[in-house]
Amino acid sequence: MTSSLTWLRNLAAAATIGSTMATSAMAQTPSGEPIKVGILHSLSGTMAISETTLKDAMLMLIEEQNKKGGVLGRPLEAVVVDPASDWPLFAEKARELISQDEVAAVFGCWTSVSRKSVLPVFKELNSILFYPVQYEGEESERNVFYTGAAPNQQAIPAVDYLMDEGVERWVLEGTDYVYPRTTNKILEQYLKDKGVAAEDIIVNYTPFGFSDWQTEVAKIKEFGSTGKKTAVVSTINGDANVPFYKELANQGIEATDIPVVAFSVGEEELAGIDTGPLVGHLAAWNYFQSVDTPENEDFIAKWHEFTGNDERVTNDPMEAHYIGFNMWVKAVEKAGTTDADAVIDALPGIEQANLTGGTSVMLPNHHITKPVLIGEINDEGQFDVVSETDDLVPGDAWSDFLPESKKLKADWVELKCGNYDTEAGKCLGETAAAQ
Amino acid sequence: MIGRSALFKRPTSLAGPPDKPTDRGLAFMIRPMPWLLALLALLFGSLLSAPATAQEPATTASGDPAAIVQKFGGKQSYDETEAVISELAGTGDPAVARPLRALRDGDLYWREGDQAVFIATRDGDEYDLLDPMTGETAGTAPRGEMEKVRVKNSIRNAVTLALGSLTLRSDNPAQRLRAAQTLFSEADPEMIAPLTEAIAAEEDPAVKTAMAEARASAILASDAPEAEKAEEARILAARGDREALAMLSRFADSAQTPEARSAALSAIAQVENNIAFWNQAQNVWYGLSLGSVLLLAAIGLAITFGVMGVINMAHGEMVMLGAYTTFVVQEFIRTNVPGLFEWSLAIALPLAFLVSGLVGLVMERGLIRFLYGRPLETLLATFGVSLILQQAVRTIFGPTNREVGNPDWMSGAFEVGLMQVTWNRLWIIVFAIIVFVALLAVLNKTSLGLQMRAVTQNRRMASAMGIRTPWVDAMTFALGSGIAGIAGVALSQIDNVSPNLGQGYIIDSFMVVVFGGVGNLWGTLVGAMTLGVVNKFLEPFAGAVLGKIVVLVLIILFIQKRPRGLFAQKGRFVDA
């Protein structure tokens, strides 16, 4: 008797759930031919360590959007390719995505060299690339939207913070490639403009994947032992960071003596280190997982649900994709089409709430506004925010601290130019960009 | 990594069971009703402050440290926190060292209800609370209720400074030493008198020297007569490090009388000599340390490539497999028998040898034996295997770095003169030598070693003597791979444990073996150490990038001159 009653009740419950699901699905399910979205992140090779997460984040965002009814009533379909950390292969895969799969937009790339390698393809085939990583600036292309930080949205505010904390001597330590070299050039000029003497700055580069940091760390220690407060500004790339921090800890350099502020170390990178000895070292980003806002909490919950792993961390480039993807969705809805030209024209001015409580705007120079957060590493492998800019900082494509780029301006709305020379009053165009 | 959710103070679920309101749920529900909140806070406050007040001493007048410590409670700016620290330090009461230390270490918390301040340690979903002044237990609190007193580097420095003046007369010699060291870098003339008193009372010679140095630095920074300063400069000269040098140069620049200046300059010369000597010593040490890492990475290759002549591009991946074995062993120990963690590396060693050796055996039997005598094909095939192994590990363990912990005996450093010797590097040097000696013994003293040498020297003759050459080939390759796995255990302590680990070592390994002389273990040892030392002497001048290039060019030139490397094999079997 009881059993049949429960059975009956279950059936009724199932029926109700079924019907509600059906009705909500009726209103939501996107139909028609799917809109394809390309994901161009390395899933093998050296960069897989960072880029695989971004592929997962994009798949999650696309799945979420489809639950919300897709775009223009049509479902989104992710097309994932693996450029295998091989720069020429990036260009080939980009071409494949655009001409064979006919994707509406591509989200991808991590290193600057991979971005530079796909640029000609995007220009030639006139498609859209969303680039989610902090980079060295000095670029603005019609087909690319830069949702990561430009140097003025990361490096400069970090140095300002350390100056407020009384730092007088600077070690600019980086991996030997274009991003650290350009960023350090900008920083060196900025520090000199602020009255730092040349002998109080050293710039040092190490190769990719460098693992024997003994001499370098000893050099930093020596440089910092003159009695003046010293800090390290690190543009050391991914893999070399773990041995670097291990060596710092082993040689007894604490953050209170010589703090290290890093631009490429986020939650993901810290996952491979015991952060106990690193407490107090800094990182500058536009997002931290520890930021306490409802949007961020929601995002993290969805991420954990999507990956089925409560320990997966979120990081800054993921937030950049979150902003970029939602901006693209809004632009497509606004333009009413996925046609590249229409979407490129619709994107500037689009607003999207970011995960740190503000609203980011796509600027005419194809960069976005972002808050700058300085965080100290804590013993849980997360960052405690110690400083935050009052307003969102607009991304500046051409640095004001490099003489050759000071006069340049990017504006794709009024001037239709990525490198307008304000002194000569003309657009430098392709020839200058190629140099 | 337990409980990331601790970072989010907002309740995740709005609807808790109505009959069992959790505190977090309650706090959320009453947000729109400020009067209720106030009432509740009052209630909480009176409830909770009762035990707290019972523990406090009777006096609550201003200047009472226990009362000042409570000012850390509530949301405050960093400046306010710093003001409280200096107020605490101003009491001069050594008892404030406990809360200050807790603050520096990030263990000082305040309770949301009544803003009472505690030292808290996490225990699952709760905090165990301690009274900040007495250190007595003060109950527990759920995680959502406690807020950390926010600290940053400048706050930690302020605490260290405050502790420095407070703990100069502490009972613990280690604390006194730390205090003296802090005061040395601070060079505050106001500390001369307390330091003089402390020196008179001090019995520990090491602490006494540190205090005398701190006093010397304070006197150099003060308005004391120059004759006295010149006297103190000698103490700094005896210390002989860079910090002393910076202070002495400032003194030399400001010295008025010629006697003072000459005293300063001679002190500077003494310190500079000292530093120059230790710099060279440090370069040699770093070189040996890098050399031992190269030796570890290359020694397996010295067997597979050096002895057997197989160009094994997957050698780096054998090292990586060893490192991942360490990771798996540590994970297992962490979850099942945490007490064994200090032994994790010792347990990982044989396992890593077996794992890598087994993979090597399979590789040899399944692939390489078909390709003997065809070096180009071997190179391509093993390169393919290396890619397969990398991607397999990436699929199983994920692309990100895995955390391999350092046991206590491998962390930290000690000082020899001005040189920092880190324990992990020291152990790796020792370990590399042990592996080298053991391998040498296997090759020279065991029957397997004898057969190996026989097969490499003259395969047909060995075969005629009844040695099963294919079996010896397989064992030799497995041995070389297993040794690479052991190297991986050691390298997991200083490098990333990621699928790319092996790639970073493959080129260096080949360089060492070719430079040292193919087929000779001693050559590998000398080659590795030479390359390490040369690299480390070049690095300070040329920088890391150029240094590496210079080393590579030197090797190419060397190979032109001596194609068989440092220790060339001689005899008629060489060309066989």
Write out pLDDT tens, residues B136-147: 888 888 877 888
The beta-carbon neighbor of A259 closest among B153, B406, B548 is B153
Contact between A227 and B500 using a beta-carbon 8 Å cutoff: no
The CA-atom distances, in angstroms, between B568 and each of B255, B510, B552 are 62, 16, 20
Q: Do B253 and B498 touch, CB atoms closer than 8 A?
A: no
Residue B45: what pLDDT?
Answer: 45
Kindly determine whether residue A256 and residue B8, on different chains, have CB atoms separated by under 8 Å. Answer: no
The encoded tokens of residue A10 equal 């279950």
**Domain check: are B121 and B9 in the same one?**
yes
Chain B residues in contact with A279 by the CB 8 A cut-off are 106
Secondary structure letter of residue B278 according to DSSP: H
pLDDT at A128 over 90: yes
- Please name the amino acid found at residue A251: Q
Q: Please, which pLDDT band fits residue A1 given cuts at 50, 70 and 90?
A: very low
Q: What is the pLDDT of residue A16?
A: 46
Please report the pLDDT score of residue B10 as a whole number.
38
A vs B, Cβ pairs < 8 A, gives 163
Q: How much is the pLDDT for B412?
A: 80
Instruction: Clarify whether residues B149 and B184 are in a common domain.
Output: no
Whole-model pTM: value is 0.79
Chain B residue with CA closest to A386: the answer is B152
Give the model's confidence band at A28: pLDDT under 50 very low, under 70 low, under 90 confident, else very high. Answer: low
Asked if residues B410 and B423 have their Cβ atoms less than 8 Å apart, the reply is yes
Answer yes or no: do B322 and B464 share one domain.
yes
Query: Across the interface, do A211 and B495 touch by the CB < 8 Å criterion?
Result: yes
Cβ contacts of B405 on chain A, cutoff 8 Å: 274
DSSP, res B56: S
Choose the weakest-confidence range: A192-206, A263-277, B195-209, B389-403: A263-277
What's the pLDDT score for residue B570?
60
List the single residue in B with minimal CA-CA distance to A374: B152
- Report the candidate in A112, A154, A105 with the shortest Cα–Cα distance to residue A128: A105
Dihedrals phi, psi of B283, to nearest 5 degrees: -60, -45
| C-alpha to C-alpha distance for B490 and B353, rounded to whole angstroms | 12
Residues B399 and B515 in one domain: yes
The answer on pLDDT for B244 being more than 50 is yes
In 3D space, the residue among A263, A232, A235 whose CA is nearest the CA of residue A248 turns out to be: A232
CB contact at 8 A, B118 and B132: yes
Instruction: State the Cα–Cα distance between residues A177 and A192, nearest whole angstrom.
Output: 23
User: Cβ–Cβ of A215/B495 closer than 8 Å?
Assistant: no
Res A10: pLDDT: 52
Tell me whether strands B108-111 and A426-427 are parallel, antiparallel or unpaired: unpaired
Q: Which of A206, A211, A255 lies at the smallest CB-CB distance from B494?
A: A211
CA A371 to chain centre: 13
Burial string for B496-505 (b: 16+ CB within 10 Å, else e) reads bbbbbbbbbb
Sign of the C-alpha dihedral, residues B204, B210, B216, B222?
negative
Query: Smallest Cα–Cα separation from A85: which of B382, B496, B387, B321?
Result: B387
Residue B408 has what DSSP assignment? G
* pLDDT value at residue B306: 78
Q: Does the domain at residues A155-262 carry the CATH identifier 3.30.70.3400?
A: no
Are residue B83 and residue B193 in the same domain, yes or no? Answer: no
Residues of A in contact with B296 (CB under 8 A): none
Lowest model confidence (mean pLDDT) among A230-244, B18-32, B301-315, B493-507: B18-32
CB burial class (10 A; 0-12, 13-18, 19+) of residue B571?
exposed
In a domain, B450, yes or no: yes
Which of A214, A227, A274 lies closest to B403 in CB terms?
A274
Q: Is the pLDDT of residue B53 over 60?
A: no
Mean pLDDT confidence for A135-151: 94
Tokens of A364: 């005419």
Q: Do domains A35-149+293-369 and A155-262 have the same CATH topology?
A: yes
Lowest average pLDDT, out of A5-19, A21-35, A229-243, B170-184, goes to A5-19
- pLDDT of residue B298 exceeding 50, the answer is yes
d(CA B491, CA B508): 14
Verify that B149 and B217 share a domain, yes or no: no
CB of B434 closer than 8 Å to CB of B257: no
Is B576 a member of any domain?
no
Using a CB-CB cut-off of 8 Å, the residues of chain B touching A48 are: 394, 399, 499
What pLDDT, on a 0 to 100 scale, did the predictor assign at position A76? 95
User: Is B111 contained in some domain?
Assistant: yes
Main-chain dihedrals φ then ψ at residue A280, nearest 5 degrees: 105, -20
From B156, B180, B214, the end of a domain falls on B156
Residue A328 above 90 pLDDT?
A: yes
Q: Which residue has the higher pLDDT, A58 or B223?
A: A58
Q: Which residue has the higher pLDDT, A5 or B223?
A: B223
* Residue of chain B nearest A281, judged by CA positions: B153
Percent of chain A at pLDDT above 70? 92
* pLDDT tens per residue across span A329-372: 999 999 999 999 999 999 999 999 999 999 999 999 999 999 99
**Span A372-384, pLDDT tens digits:** 999 999 888 899 9
Query: Would B327 be classed as within a structural domain?
Result: yes
Chain B residue closest in CA terms to A43: B399
Share of chain A above pLDDT 90, in %: 64
Residues of B in contact with A43 (CB under 8 A): 399
Sort strands B126-130 and B137-142 into parallel, antiparallel or unpaired.
antiparallel
Neighbours of B366 (CB within 10 A): 10
Q: Is the pLDDT of residue A431 over 80?
A: no
Burial class of A231 by CB neighbour count within 10 A (0 to 12, 13 to 18, 19+): buried
**How many separate domains does chain B show?**
3
The residues that bridge with A74 in the sheet, in sequence order, are A71
Clarify whether residues B395 and B318 are in a common domain: yes
Q: Has residue B166 got a pLDDT over 50?
A: yes
Q: Is residue B550 part of a domain?
A: no
Q: Average of pLDDT values for A191-203?
A: 94
Cα A176 from Cα A163, distance rounded (Å): 25
Question: Residue B323 and residue B503: Cα distance in Å, rounded?
Answer: 13
Chain A nearest-CA residue for B498: A49
How far is it, in rounded angstroms, from Cα B42 to Cα B53? 15
pLDDT the model gives residue B107: 87
Please report the pLDDT score of residue B1 as a whole number. 40
Q: Residue B286 is nearest to which of A207, A215, A310, comparing CB atoms?
A: A215
Q: What is the mean pLDDT of chain B?
A: 82
Above 60 in pLDDT, residue A54?
Answer: yes
Indicate whether B35 pLDDT > 80: no
Residue B561 lies in a domain: no
Confidence of residue A62 (pLDDT cuts 50, 70, 90): very high
Contact B210, B222 (CB under 8 A): no
Average pLDDT over residues A50-67: 94
Q: What is the per-residue pLDDT across B493-503, written as a single tens digit (0 to 9) for each?
A: 888 888 888 88
Nearest residue, CB atoms, A386 vs list B10, B152, B500 = B152
At residue B575, the pLDDT reads: 46
Encoding tokens for residue A93?
A: 């895969």
3-state DSSP assignment of residue A27: helix
Confidence band, pLDDT 50/70/90 cuts, at residue B332: very high
Please name which of A111, A424, A105, A371 lies closest in space to residue A239, comparing C-alpha atoms: A111
**Alpha carbon A389 to chain centroid distance?**
18
Min Cα–Cα distance to chain A from B256, Å: 22
Beta bridge partner(s), residue A420: A409, A427
Top CATH class, A35-149+293-369: alpha beta
Q: Is the pLDDT assigned to residue A4 strictly greater than 50?
A: no
* Consecutive H or E run containing B129: strand B126-130
Model confidence pLDDT, tens digit, residues A216-271: 998 998 898 887 899 999 999 877 888 898 888 888 888 988 999 999 888 888 87
Residues B81 and B148 in one domain: yes
Beta bridge partners of B111: B146
Question: Predicted confidence band at B518 (pLDDT cuts at 50, 70, 90)?
Answer: confident
Identity of residue A27: A
Residue closest to B472 by CA, chosen among B449, B443, B494: B449
Half-sphere CA count of B415, side-chain side, radius 13 A: 5
- B346/B492 same-domain check: yes
Where do the domains of chain A lie?
A: 1-30, 35-149+293-369, 155-262, 408-434
Shared domain for B84 and B220, answered yes or no, is: no
- The Cα B500–Cα B399 span in angstroms is 9
Which one is predicted more confidently, B172 or B575? B172
Average pLDDT over residues A311-328: 95
Q: Per DSSP, what are the bridge partners of residue A174?
A: A205, A235
Question: pLDDT category, B414, cuts 50, 70, 90?
Answer: confident
Contact A48 B548 (CB under 8 A): no
Banded pLDDT at B19 (limits 50, 70, 90): very low
In this predicted structure, the answer to whether residue A24 has a pLDDT above a threshold of 50 is: no
| The pairing of beta strand A373-377 with beta strand A282-285 | antiparallel
Residue B384 near residue B371 (C-beta atoms within 8 A): no
Phi, psi (degrees; rounded to nearest 5) at A410: -115, 130
Are residues B326 and B442 part of one domain?
A: yes
Residues of A in contact with B7 (CB under 8 A): 289-290, 292, 380, 382
Rounded Cα gap, residues A127 and A343, in angstroms = 10
- B41-50, B210-219, B267-276, B432-441: segment of lowest average pLDDT: B41-50
CATH code where residue B497 lies: 1.10.3470
Residues B232 and B352 in one domain: no
Domain ranges, residue B386: 279-535
Spatial CA neighbour of A330 closest among A79, A103, A57, A68: A68
**Which whole number is the average pLDDT over B553-565?**
89
Domain boundary among the residues B222, B256, B290 is at B256
- pLDDT: which is higher, A143 or B163: A143
Please give the average per-residue pLDDT across B547-554, as a whole number.
90
Work out the minimum CA distance from A421 to partner chain B, whole angstroms: 36
pLDDT of residue B481: 95
